[in-house]
Amino acid sequence: MNNVEEKDGARKPLMCPSAQPDMQDSLVLGVLEDTPNGKRLTWSEEPQPVTPQLLSLTREVDPRNIFRFAARCEESACVHFDGKDCQLATRIVQILPRAVDVLPPCSIRPECRWYQQEGKAACLRCPEVATHVENASAEILRVATPPHTATLAIYDQRETTIGK
């Protein structure tokens, strides 16, 4: 499923909830906050379009360390897409424990690729996903690294990127 049908019959593209700020139609989903259990996403009531002004608010800090972005799923242009499904979403559900017990208040859920593919299980893990991770654990590296590239990758334990 690459699109979601709107009430008026129009087709809306699916969104990646772990996007990069420079991707097409990128939005800020929320702010990543430090908690005793690690970084957790606090959703914005309404996603904000990514602008140079918004990104400049982070000053010297990488915006991916402060914000979580969503954008149009790039499908075959993404290393996690297998032609049908997002394997990142699959690995998140298979490897990561639930971060919450109830569905978080997500404004992109109707067009979220992860939700369309994995359902509630993806949503219950979504708050703990950080697109950019410094000092990534072995577990996060397993989630972030597509199996077909794992044998080619040399892991840098200081930093990894989850998503496109």
Report the C-alpha gap between 16 and 136 in whole angstroms.
21
Contact indicator for 104, 57 with CB cutoff of 8 Å: no
**Full domain range(s) for residue 70:** 3-130
148 falls within a domain: no
Q: Residue 132 has what pLDDT?
A: 86
51 falls within a domain: yes
12 falls within a domain: yes
135 falls within a domain: no
137 falls within a domain: no
164 falls within a domain: no
pTM of the complete model:
0.83
Question: How many domains in the chain?
Answer: 1
Tens-digit pLDDT profile for residues 39-52: 899 999 899 999 99
35 falls within a domain: yes
The amino acid that residue 6 corresponds to is E
96 falls within a domain: yes
